[in-house]
Chains A and B, each alone.
Chain A
């Protein structure tokens, strides 16, 4: 068989190129449609997977709109089981007069922060320079590249919630090693920001992050922290970072599940279309199959022929579909959503692309099951009797 066989498979494509072409295009479009919701779900789940297991997030009990006294960070550091802690205040910075450029800003105790957060990578000398200069900024590389900021540049910022301006020197540009963390974010020194705030807004923190001495003890420590501050006017809500990330995911769990279901339904449609096409092909070639049987082809060989055709359809469709997805979703749709709804950028992981290819080929072959069975069952005389 071998070479002759594969020639047969490919040649059969050309017998009705229109139908084969339409089927391939349909599979391509539907697989691209499968990739979109899958990529969204994957991205969310990947973020949760990458959260370190030795941190606790301490926030104001009343929610994000409240704040905690910054001295809580000192008290938390003293608790058993806690190795380090840092407080963060969100100044909601923006570029003067420019509402369009969106980025996050956080004012933090930078020494414990840099010691704890190893998922932000930057050269040591830059980190040292940043720690030495109170009026400097620690900037995400994507943001810096987009705004054309270089080391040593002085950039002026305003705040959406506090009066005044802040001039920061770009002292360190970092790369984030953790999905979704630090993207488009600027860090500055808490001490500098705090000094420049109006009296009634000073010494507050939006949240505090504590690092455990031992991993996976976060649950117990979180409870201790909440118990410690329960009697105080500003109560805390502490969650292990992992748990907090899951909670965020849980908010949209229903929507993500719905998208998941949709992506599987799409696969069902792919199967039905491919199956339909193959069934039509087989029906039309019954007479030919009869001839092939008569000259000596075994039923199994004919079945394999049809199966191989199905696989080829699936492969071509998947290749085109995946090829379409990258420019379409990672560029076009992603930018549109970012601009319209401040969506995080859409990334298609290799995992998702390979899944689409595997499913494209696998499901096409699965859809061929009935036609293949029919072909293998053909009785030579019946087949020869059929005219077209």
Chain B
């Protein structure tokens, strides 16, 4: 049997050009599948990476996202007094208010493109409550001044988003950029942060804020915290853990990418299977004499069938490995797109995962095997005497 397989693999080598062309088609199938799955995973990671399970996020009752939430900032007092809220070394409740809005800016790199960026008006204690964020250049904002911090992912890509430049919030408010921050690859890196008052003034917040986030003693305290606040009829809020909020807004876009990826993969697979079919079919026709010899030597139909299927599967595997290798280059690319759920543009990355790549390689091998099945059956039916006579 092994000797037979050696013949099959050598045949692939002999017909290098057609082997390469067919393997190329399969490489494409695996690349599309692998890359789209990696992007989908990366998107979910970027969005949900911003949320902590032990932080409670308080939003206006009817709001779906932070940017669409408006509630009276007097609610902050209520939140600080709720059960389960952690206190810092100075004994203060770890609670922060934020005003979240959207700003449309024209891309510097591609002037025909306008992006919607999320602006977050933050309180003085923002870094205490958001430990994943840290300044990597410049300094933090001085509270009460018109200054701004720019997330690493949007630095330099839009007008005004460079150290020392001014960001156009409104006709009368143009804060100066004093620092750059990163946030563990989460969505915060695609945001612009400024003083709470600056944002409230420029985006029609009046006496409102978007969200009040509280650090809890532990994730288990969320229920008590949540119950107390939601019970208060006067204020009308909804409470969820930060991680639950980000899990909610990580739906939609990653699913769409995943589905598009699978649809395109199926399309390419059809092309690849048919391509493999045409190639193996011609190959078997040309090799009928060789097959006749093999049969005359004593190899049974079953062995011939199996060996040809293995040949096309090997073709598939080779192409699949190349496709997988190329898809491993995608983490070098940044994919900027609007997260439908929140309406803000985010920079996403491709996240490699061994399971998805492994499955993609398996799919590629299967494509090769399926394409070669019918020709393999034909090969098995070759009659040795007639073949050698031809």
Contacts and interface: CB of A to CB of B under 8 A. Distances in A.
Interface in B269-321: 270-272, 274-275, 277-279, 281-282, 286
B116 A247 contact: yes
B337 A255 contact: yes
A250 B113 contact: yes
A254 B101 CA distance: 23
Interface stretch (A5-13, A55-63, A151-159): A55-63
A224 to B, nearest CB: 10
Interface stretch (A202-210, A268-276, A298-306): A268-276
Given A246-B113, A255-B337, A19 B278 contact: yes
The majority secondary structure among interface residues of chain A is helix
A211 interface: no
Contacts of A25: 274
Interface stretch (B20-28, B83-91, B176-184, B361-369): B20-28
A63 B278 contact: no
A265 B265 CA distance: 12
Interface in B34-92: 67-68, 70
B343 interface: yes
B7 interface: no
Contacts of B270: 26, 29-30, 33
B28 A63 contact: no
Nearest to A281: B282
Interface string A220-235: 0000001100110111
B104 A247 contact: yes
6 contacts: A26-B271, A33-B268, A61-B170, A226-B170, A252-B338, A273-B274
Interface of A: 18-19, 22-23, 25-26, 29-30, 33, 37, 60-63, 65-66, 226-227, 230-231, 233-235, 237, 239, 243, 246-247, 250-255, 259, 262, 265-266, 268-270, 272-273, 275-277, 279-280, 284
Interface of B: 17-18, 21-22, 24-25, 28, 32, 67-68, 70, 101-102, 104, 107, 112-116, 170-172, 202-206, 256-257, 260, 264, 267-268, 270-272, 274-275, 277-279, 281-282, 286, 335-338, 343, 345
Given A26-B270, A65-B68, A270-B271, 18 more contacts: A18-B281, A22-B281, A61-B101, A62-B102, A62-B205, A63-B101, A65-B67, A233-B206, A234-B204, A235-B170, A250-B115, A253-B337, A266-B267, A269-B268, A272-B25, A273-B21, A276-B18, A280-B282
